[in-house]
Structure 1
Amino acid sequence: MVPEAEFTSYYGRPVLNRPAWKAANIAGYFFLGGLAGAGSVLAAGAELTGRPVTARALKVTSTVAVAGSAAALIHDLGRPGRFANMLRVFKPTSPMSVGSWLLAAYGPASGAASLCEVSGRLPRLGRTATVGAALLGPAVAAYTAVLAADTAVPAWHGGYRELPFVFVGSAAAAASGMALAASPLTENGPARTAALAATALENAAVKAMERRLGLVAEVYRRGSGGRWMRTAGALSAAGAAGAALFAGRSRLAAGVSGAALLAASACTRLGVFQAGLESAKDPKYTVVPQRERLREREQQDRARAQEGTPGEKDARS
């Protein structure tokens, strides 16, 4: 029997430097930012369709969540000045730069919308801020996935196509869960529909990402990342089932379903984060996919060389 290959590097150093981010800070930053962004979209929809209790709850929640997201990011950076320094320039090719400016624009819009709603003053300004926060909300919910995928971490970079859909679905599930927990039964119809759609989107995106990642998908199924992802799947299934079957008839069921969806979204962010750490720690998740891509390119080059150019084909004929 040939022993399983072991991948090592010079002096026992890892192929990639493991991210120095702290799980509580960055996973919290991912989760709270997604809750805020998706919540603003649902808040605008609730206001437009005449659901004032839901709209107010989601506006306030979004403001608190984006403040917590920014606080988690700043805590991981070490001091507030580092976040302010990121606003000195705007670099469209940098997800971190774009994300910093998104937070800087979205936070005041969300805060103005909730403040006007709670105080009952300046309704026009409140409506304008609500629309502004809703327009920025999807980008706020998705940009953290782009930020993670822009790194060299295999579990994140390899899933660059699907990870934004995972994050958006997770964010929408959290926001719909918050709406279910905070709104009366007469207003929670759209939240129940949103919960089902968000759960379906998140689960489909996770499955598609795992299929395309191949070997690297192991980190989403095993270890701490796998445990968090399985917990997220169970909670989201329970929350979606509760939203579909019972949340329209029972206030308690709506609250429990909403809490399950919120917990599922948080577990998804923790699972993605831990999976990334595991993939950066083991060299095989970097080396094997690189070799596979190199082998595929070599096969494509040989195939093109065998086919030849159109002029060469005519000459041979």
Structure 2
Amino acid sequence: MSEAEATRDGLRNQRPGREARGAAGGPKRRGRRRRGEETVVPDAEFRSYYGRPIIKPPTWKAADIAGYLFLGGLAGSSSLLALGAELTGRPRAARAGKIGGLGAIGLSTVLLIHDLGRPARFANMLRVAKPTSPMSMGSWILMAYGPAAGVAAATDVTGLFPRIGRAATGWAALAGPAVVSYTAVLISDTAIPAWHGAHRELPFVFAGSGAAAASGLVLLAAPRSETAPARTVAVFGAALDLAASRLLERRLGPVVAEPYRTGRGGRLMHAATALTAAGALGAALLAGRSRPAAALAGAALLAGSACTRFGVFAAGVQSATDPKYTIAAQRPAPE
């Protein structure tokens, strides 16, 4: 029996009916599918061996790490507001920001060490400074910020060493933006689909959420006559948070963004949107007229920021446990 022979002019002695046929009867096409062209190869299904996760979900405790994310944003933003209040002659608003910054960074460090298991592990992270490691850089950022926040708060409360206090306030405000945003870099530098795919937007979400939380703290703790800058920052922070969150979901695509809309993460993110929007509206329209309204707006902003951080954390865990999110994140976008 003769076999097909490849020549310069094509195949010779080819047996009829041996071509690979597609579903429409034509030759089977291989390679990348073009627009409007049918393919005989079905689309890949979102599944893995026995439906098991493709990547390991994070082992972090939700209460520790999500709380750490929230308190870090509150601390850094509070120091920025404290510096602004001090420079504009609002001493009680400045004191609220300084004490809030110290309390938040202290609690966040406690939560981090609790998740690590023992304090020595946190100390070990300070043995080296590795610029390519967000965890290493984050540890040094905390060390640069924490003592300055402590000195700023202590000198303000006691009235001692005012010049040192002003310098510490400025240093804490300078380190504040790094404290607010480095946690977004930390979690997006992982294989978790809902976090890694949102590495462009998460720092803006965290920055806006942190600004809203710090403004809420000042609205709660400072007299109404000193909260005008905080009300402005509350509106700006809430707008940045909500806009960046919507952009995050759109860029992730309908599948990978699902954990931000469904399940525990979705419920928390919906609550965050409602609370943040309500707090911003209250800050803009009512907080300047009524002390109770200012307190309610501040509480809503704080709660909204906390829901944002816990929602982002829950969405990441959900995306790691279901293999379809890992597969969808690796598929090219449709043409």
- Please, which of 257, 271, 282 is the counterpart of residue 322 of structure 2? 282
Tell me the equivalent position of 1:172. Answer: 211
Amino acid aligned to 2:304: A
- For residues 172 and 121 of structure 1, the distance between their equivalents in structure 2, rounded to whole angstroms, comes to 29
- For residues 158 and 329 of structure 2, the distance between their equivalents in structure 1, rounded to whole angstroms, comes to 55
Tell me the equivalent position of 1:92. Answer: 131
Structure of larger gyration radius? 2
Tell me the equivalent position of 1:107. Answer: 146
Tell me the equivalent position of 2:278. Answer: 238
Whether the 8 Å contact between 1:8 and 1:14 is mirrored in structure 2 is: no
- For residues 160 and 11 of structure 1, the distance between their equivalents in structure 2, rounded to whole angstroms, comes to 30
Amino acid aligned to 2:330: Q
Aligned sequence identity (%): 66
Tell me the TM-score normalised to structure 2 length. 0.85
Whether the 8 Å contact between 2:51 and 2:323 is mirrored in structure 1 is: no
- For residues 97 and 178 of structure 1, the distance between their equivalents in structure 2, rounded to whole angstroms, comes to 29
Residue by residue over 1:157-182, the C-alpha shift from the partner in whole angstroms, topping out at 9 and shown as x without a partner, is 00000000000000000000001111
- Equivalences for residues 64-103 of structure 1 within 5 A: 64-103=103-142
Residue by residue over 1:65-98, the C-alpha shift from the partner in whole angstroms, topping out at 9 and shown as x without a partner, is 0000000111011111100000000000100000
Tell me the TM-score normalised to structure 1 length. 0.90
- For residues 194 and 112 of structure 2, the distance between their equivalents in structure 1, rounded to whole angstroms, comes to 21
Tell me the equivalent position of 1:139. Answer: 178
Amino acid aligned to 1:226: G
Whether the 8 Å contact between 1:219 and 1:278 is mirrored in structure 2 is: yes
Amino acid aligned to 1:201: L
- Equivalences for residues 24-39 of structure 1 within 5 A: 24-39=63-78
What is the CA distance between 1:57 and its match in structure 2? 1.1
Tell me the equivalent position of 1:270. Answer: 310
Aligned: 1:258 with 2:288: no
Q: Give 3-state SS (helix, strand or coil) of 1:30's partner.
A: helix
- For residues 156 and 7 of structure 1, the distance between their equivalents in structure 2, rounded to whole angstroms, comes to 19
- For residues 7 and 189 of structure 1, the distance between their equivalents in structure 2, rounded to whole angstroms, comes to 51
What is the CA distance between 1:105 and its match in structure 2? 1.0
* 4+ aligned runs moved over 4 Å, structure 1: 3-6
Residue by residue over 1:213-251, the C-alpha shift from the partner in whole angstroms, topping out at 9 and shown as x without a partner, is 002111101111000000000001110111111100111
- Equivalences for residues 91-240 of structure 1 within 5 A: 91-214=130-253, 215-240=255-280
Structure in which a larger fraction of residues adopt helix? 1
What is the CA distance between 1:7 and its match in structure 2? 3.5
- For residues 91 and 247 of structure 2, the distance between their equivalents in structure 1, rounded to whole angstroms, comes to 37
What is the CA distance between 1:12 and its match in structure 2? 4.9
Larger displacement relative to structure 2 (9-18 or 91-100)? 9-18
- For residues 183 and 265 of structure 1, the distance between their equivalents in structure 2, rounded to whole angstroms, comes to 19
- For residues 85 and 329 of structure 2, the distance between their equivalents in structure 1, rounded to whole angstroms, comes to 45
Residue by residue over 1:276-297, the C-alpha shift from the partner in whole angstroms, topping out at 9 and shown as x without a partner, is 001101111111221226x87x
- For residues 84 and 11 of structure 1, the distance between their equivalents in structure 2, rounded to whole angstroms, comes to 41
- For residues 121 and 43 of structure 2, the distance between their equivalents in structure 1, rounded to whole angstroms, comes to 45
Q: Give 3-state SS (helix, strand or coil) of 2:280's partner.
A: helix
- For residues 227 and 5 of structure 1, the distance between their equivalents in structure 2, rounded to whole angstroms, comes to 30
Amino acid aligned to 1:257: A
- For residues 273 and 4 of structure 1, the distance between their equivalents in structure 2, rounded to whole angstroms, comes to 31
Residue by residue over 1:111-139, the C-alpha shift from the partner in whole angstroms, topping out at 9 and shown as x without a partner, is 00000000100011100000000000000
Structure 2, unaligned runs of 5 or more: 1-41
What is the CA distance between 1:5 and its match in structure 2? 6.8
- For residues 145 and 233 of structure 1, the distance between their equivalents in structure 2, rounded to whole angstroms, comes to 19
- For residues 168 and 86 of structure 1, the distance between their equivalents in structure 2, rounded to whole angstroms, comes to 25
Residue by residue over 1:289-311, the C-alpha shift from the partner in whole angstroms, topping out at 9 and shown as x without a partner, is 21226x87xxxxxxxxxxxxxxx
Residue by residue over 1:245-290, the C-alpha shift from the partner in whole angstroms, topping out at 9 and shown as x without a partner, is 1100111110110000000000000100000001101111111221
Aligned: 1:249 with 2:296: no
Whether the 8 Å contact between 1:166 and 1:202 is mirrored in structure 2 is: yes
Aligned: 1:52 with 2:98: no
Provide the alpha-carbon RMSD of the alignment: 1.5
Amino acid aligned to 2:272: A
- For residues 255 and 23 of structure 1, the distance between their equivalents in structure 2, rounded to whole angstroms, comes to 28
Tell me the equivalent position of 2:58. Answer: 19
Residue by residue over 1:40-68, the C-alpha shift from the partner in whole angstroms, topping out at 9 and shown as x without a partner, is 00000000000000001110111010000
Q: Give 3-state SS (helix, strand or coil) of 1:247's partner.
A: coil
Amino acid aligned to 1:95: P
Count of equivalent residues:
293
Structure 1, unaligned runs of 5 or more: 297-317
Tell me the equivalent position of 1:299. Answer: none
